[in-house]
Structure 1
Amino acid sequence: MAEKLYLGTKVRKLREARGWTLEQCAGRLALSPSYLSQIETNQRPATARVLIALTRAFDVDASLFDLDGDARLIADLREATTDVAGHAEAPTAGELKQAAMNAPRLARQFLALHQDYRRLDERLKTLNETLGRDERATVAAPALPYEAVRDFFHYRDNYIDALDRAAEDLAAQLNLGDGVHPERELETALNDLCGVRVATGQARGAMRRFDPSARILYVDASLPGATRAFQMAHQLVRLRFEELIEHELDRAAFDIPAARDVCRVGLANYAAGALLLPYRAFLEAARELRHDVDRLRNRFHVSFEQACHRLSTLQRPGWRGVPFYFARVDMAGNITKRHSATRFQFARFGGACPLWNVHEAFSAPDRILVNLSEMPDGARYVCIAKSVSKPGGSFLEPDRRYALGLGCEIEHAAQLVYADGLDLNGPPTRMGVNCRICERTDCTQRAFPPIDRTLAVPENERGVIPYTLS
């Protein structure tokens, strides 16, 4: 193994969940109790032989012991501790790793406290600006529920197994998937399985409106076909998978009541995507077509965005696809969707790196941009970006424009049609997460200095950036 596997917290949780004593578990693993105790306290890493024994004894998939979740938690801790580095010396990378691996629940509580600190800081700044303008305005509370739901999907690797498998079974029952136009099949399924009639026309300013008493689903006829199908699929899974969705919400145990309502919609959207793009069929097609998004969306009759989003969710244990990140960015630079099955990290606060090619996509409508980028940790990515427009439906409603970003690490480049002709050994674009935590000291696109660095302002010279960093 290239990286040592310290699995103490995970092994201890599995053992305690089964009610085994240390001696009983050691016997099942053919280890001495002292050796197992050292593994559980992260004094010794798990070898390949021990990893195989763990998967057999606990009857779990080896992917349960992947370090991707730890890496994601470590990255979030690094950003949070960097943010408050002015109050004390920032922890080292080794200390953050130990915290994430030995006390993950404590680490997540720290992140929750940091989010509260950031929100309070933002509210105070907004209040100061409001008072400074001498306006009588109230300070709006931050969108706490959406942040909680974002983290829910973030730490589930954007894959919900029970819903994904249920949607795949329903798709097989309805004959949805490769080559099938889904609208008519979904309309029939809503009527036959749920007693719901679909009416296309005006939905009173909404894309979808369901009248539960009349059992009528109104879908805006001005929407593109792929969007109409998605809205029908959303309503179908809301009705068919209600118990599954509520079970996932119970497991999430949100502290914020409104987060449950937000997540309910998010889970239904997830299941709708899984219904339109059944896991195995879509994964096999993606491999066959080398992840050509245009060919995938045409084959499955979905939008470019729906196909990209689904590619980022193919993380089923034992049947994983290429790990992608996926993001949707508006013209102001706000990231309105973010999912990552890779080491690629999105900033939890602040804007994205200006060198990310997703920003350039707005100036190249309908073109797919591809480049090679390198993050500060040395990981290189094939980054794909494209701008898309969503029609407003009338002259008085402006179109909504977004840029979509999709990418994976270069070790998977051979499986991507977009990497053909790309010099994977050439100089990459050296990007970061965002300026406030970026480690690069020589970036000419820097918007402001990093929080954890000391800066100096030369009196007698002026570079592209008006300061230097330690």
Structure 2
Amino acid sequence: MDTADRKLFLGGRLKRLRRDLGLTQTAMAGDLGVSPSYLNHIERNQRPVSAQLLLRLAETYDVDLRALGQSGGPASEATLSEAFADPVFQGLAVPRHEIVQLAEDQPAVADAVLRLYRAFSDRRARERAVAGIDVGGDETPADRVRDFVQARQNHFPELDAMGERLAAELETETPGESFETRARARLQAHHGLTVRTLPDDVMVEWTRRYDPHRKRLHLSETLGPSSRAFAVAFQLALAEHDNELTALTASADMPDDATRRVLKVALTNTLAAAILMPYSAFHAAAEANGYDLGRLEARFGVSFEQAAHRLTTLSRPSARGVPFFLMRVDQAGNISKRFASGAFPFSRFGGACPRWRLHSAFRTPGRIVTQIIETPDGQRWFTLARTVERQGRDAFTEGHDLAIGLGCELKHARKLIHARGLDLAAPEVTPIGPACRLCHRHPCAERAAPPVDRAPAVDDWSKSVSPWPFVQEAG
């Protein structure tokens, strides 16, 4: 059948969009100029979506039409597949096409299934803890925060808006100065807070320490310029927008205080990144320079990891970037970071496939290695990987013991400077299984056991689970 004649049945995705917008069928039908019964037929896949209706959707709700083709919501195919892989469902053998149908056509039911499964997992974890059984694989505050961030596709427009406004004010107040100089001046002038860099033997195990009584932020001399700037941006974000961050944390309705603390740190770091790398300026620079990470590092005074992570947040409807995913691992294969602005079949419990060059990047420290991979569902992805240095005391002994993997769907690779010179029409492809626990039929699963996904412990604000690397070890 010719592509132009192919009918589009997007009922489940349209229903998910309507639910995310908080609209009834009657309200959305009125906005789109169609009858409620017609919209109802579309949502039940009894009518195809016309090109005219797609254009109305885009104009009325400022929706990128690509979003309707994504299935990476809270109850995506990969998330549901992972839940059904639990031994408690042994013997059911739920086929993939039923999982896809559930995720796309019945998103509310799919979310309900996941909520029940997570409630069951939490109760099982508590019972095991009481019995003294190891519960290392069950849901933690870090898991809950990761799920929340990924449900938002790692995009927080309210924090991006705050960051842009504050960055503009800093430039107006002290034009021509470095970000750290501008931020320090703002903290002193507006909040009476001073920033001091202290010797390593004074800071001992700390890389960043805030004294609220004396209003002093102490930073270790072992921090590099980009990590030091991020630490200052973090403190500025708290000083300027603590109330908004607290309100956003409360609105997430997390189940316990530990998860709320982790989430607030994550949101504060996200705001700090938005101040350091304002959305519009960062997006424009990325587009103009072919997403050249080296140029982005130099332009905004950030690290490779910070620039790579910021690329996973560019989902503003009016200025979307390439939808990247990111993963960070150590040499043992432990995963300490996973984020995506689009869909990618991450496994919460599994590890990165050993065929992915993310692991071989340790053999060429500091060099970017590229690879085109294919996941078991037939999707192809352009990826790049590079080692990064830890910041702080561990940098002296650990060196390049972390690696960042960054990638996007192959169809976007033509926009990337890192993909130039590759034959994207007939590429050399490596089949992998990024959700190794789920792809037991995939050949790579027979060759290596998946590494453990490790969640760092949370003890205080300077050593907390955080998606942004103002201190690399912070996770």
Report the TM-score, using the length of structure 1 for normalisation. 0.83
**CA deviation map 1:224-263 (0-9, x unaligned):** 0110000000010012112221232122111232111100
Q: 1:183 maps to which residue?
A: 180
Distance 1:432 1:142, change over 3 A: closer
Q: 1:52 maps to which residue?
A: 55
Q: 1:164 maps to which residue?
A: 160
Largest Rg, 1 or 2: 1
Equivalent position to 1:196, from 173, 193, 196: 193
Q: Are the equivalent residues in 2 in contact too, given 1:178–1:299 (CA < 8 A)?
A: no
Q: Quick one: percent identity of the two aligned structures?
A: 38
How far is the alpha carbon of 1:142 from its aligned partner? 5.2
Q: Are the equivalent residues in 1 in contact too, given 2:375–2:433 (CA < 8 A)?
A: yes
How far is the alpha carbon of 1:149 from its aligned partner? 0.2
Task: Summarize the alignment of residues 92-171 of structure 1 with structure 2, pairs less than 5 Å apart.
Answer: 92-115=95-118, 144-171=140-167
Distance 1:64 1:444, change over 3 A: closer
Q: 1:80 maps to which residue?
A: 83
Q: Are the equivalent residues in 2 in contact too, given 1:354–1:445 (CA < 8 A)?
A: no
Distance 1:438 1:4, change over 3 A: same
Deviates more, 1:227-236 or 1:183-192: 183-192
Greater RCO, 1 or 2 (C-alpha within 8 Å, sep 6+) = 2
**CA deviation map 1:72-100 (0-9, x unaligned):** 41221122213348533333333223322
- Which structure 2 segments of 5+ residues have no match? 451-475
SS of the residue 1:110 aligns to: helix
Task: Summarize the alignment of residues 253-272 of structure 1 with structure 2, pairs less than 5 Å apart.
Answer: 253-272=253-272
CA distance in structure 2 between the partners assigned to 1:333 and 1:440 by the alignment: 21
Task: Summarize the alignment of residues 363-402 of structure 1 with structure 2, pairs less than 5 Å apart.
Answer: 363-393=363-393, 398-399=398-399, 401-402=401-402
CA distance in structure 2 between the partners assigned to 1:162 and 1:331 by the alignment: 36
One-letter amino acid of the structure 1 residue matched with residue 366 of structure 2: D
CA distance in structure 2 between the partners assigned to 1:395 and 1:27 by the alignment: 59
Distance 1:423 1:180, change over 3 A: farther
SS of the residue 1:38 aligns to: helix
How far is the alpha carbon of 1:321 from its aligned partner? 0.6
How far is the alpha carbon of 1:46 from its aligned partner? 2.9
CA distance in structure 1 between the partners assigned to 2:298 and 2:212 by the alignment: 33
Deviates more, 1:334-343 or 1:199-208: 199-208
CA distance in structure 2 between the partners assigned to 1:352 and 1:139 by the alignment: 21
| 1:66 and 2:55 aligned | no
Q: 1:414 maps to which residue?
A: 414
Q: 2:41 maps to which residue?
A: 38
CA distance in structure 2 between the partners assigned to 1:108 and 1:9 by the alignment: 13
One-letter amino acid of the structure 1 residue matched with residue 434 of structure 2: V
CA distance in structure 1 between the partners assigned to 2:333 and 2:443 by the alignment: 23
CA distance in structure 2 between the partners assigned to 1:416 and 1:270 by the alignment: 24
Q: 1:135 maps to which residue?
A: none
One-letter amino acid of the structure 1 residue matched with residue 150 of structure 2: H
CA distance in structure 1 between the partners assigned to 2:439 and 2:149 by the alignment: 25
Q: 2:341 maps to which residue?
A: 341
SS of the residue 2:217 aligns to: strand
Q: 2:15 maps to which residue?
A: 9
Q: 2:329 maps to which residue?
A: 329
How far is the alpha carbon of 1:4 from its aligned partner? 3.1
SS of the residue 1:310 aligns to: helix
Distance 1:26 1:281, change over 3 A: closer
Q: Are the equivalent residues in 2 in contact too, given 1:233–1:275 (CA < 8 A)?
A: yes
Q: Are the equivalent residues in 2 in contact too, given 1:371–1:422 (CA < 8 A)?
A: no
How far is the alpha carbon of 1:125 from its aligned partner? 8.7
Task: Summarize the alignment of residues 244-283 of structure 1 with structure 2, pairs less than 5 Å apart.
Answer: 244-283=244-283
Task: Summarize the alignment of residues 292-303 of structure 1 with structure 2, pairs less than 5 Å apart.
Answer: 292-303=292-303
Q: Are the equivalent residues in 2 in contact too, given 1:355–1:445 (CA < 8 A)?
A: no
SS of the residue 1:146 aligns to: helix
CA distance in structure 1 between the partners assigned to 2:147 and 2:85 by the alignment: 19
Q: 1:462 maps to which residue?
A: none
**CA deviation map 1:87-138 (0-9, x unaligned):** 333333332233223443442343244345557778899999x89xxxxxx8
Q: Are the equivalent residues in 1 in contact too, given 2:376–2:431 (CA < 8 A)?
A: yes
Q: Are the equivalent residues in 2 in contact too, given 1:187–1:232 (CA < 8 A)?
A: yes
Deviates more, 1:47-56 or 1:170-179: 170-179
How far is the alpha carbon of 1:166 from its aligned partner? 0.9
Q: How many residues align?
A: 437
Distance 1:83 1:414, change over 3 A: same
How far is the alpha carbon of 1:338 from its aligned partner? 0.7
Q: Are the equivalent residues in 1 in contact too, given 2:16–2:107 (CA < 8 A)?
A: no
CA distance in structure 2 between the partners assigned to 1:110 and 1:247 by the alignment: 28
**CA deviation map 1:308-332 (0-9, x unaligned):** 0011111111100111111111122
SS of the residue 1:302 aligns to: coil
Distance 1:351 1:55, change over 3 A: closer
How far is the alpha carbon of 1:395 from its aligned partner? 9.4
Q: Are the equivalent residues in 1 in contact too, given 2:54–2:65 (CA < 8 A)?
A: no
Report the TM-score, using the length of structure 2 for normalisation. 0.82
Q: Are the equivalent residues in 2 in contact too, given 1:126–1:139 (CA < 8 A)?
A: yes
CA distance in structure 2 between the partners assigned to 1:358 and 1:312 by the alignment: 17
How far is the alpha carbon of 1:174 from its aligned partner? 0.8
**CA deviation map 1:352-383 (0-9, x unaligned):** 21111111111211111111111122221111
Q: Are the equivalent residues in 2 in contact too, given 1:330–1:402 (CA < 8 A)?
A: yes
Task: Summarize the alignment of residues 426-445 of structure 1 with structure 2, pairs less than 5 Å apart.
Answer: 426-438=427-439, 440-443=441-444
Q: Are the equivalent residues in 2 in contact too, given 1:392–1:398 (CA < 8 A)?
A: no
CA distance in structure 1 between the partners assigned to 2:227 and 2:177 by the alignment: 15
Q: Are the equivalent residues in 2 in contact too, given 1:249–1:263 (CA < 8 A)?
A: yes
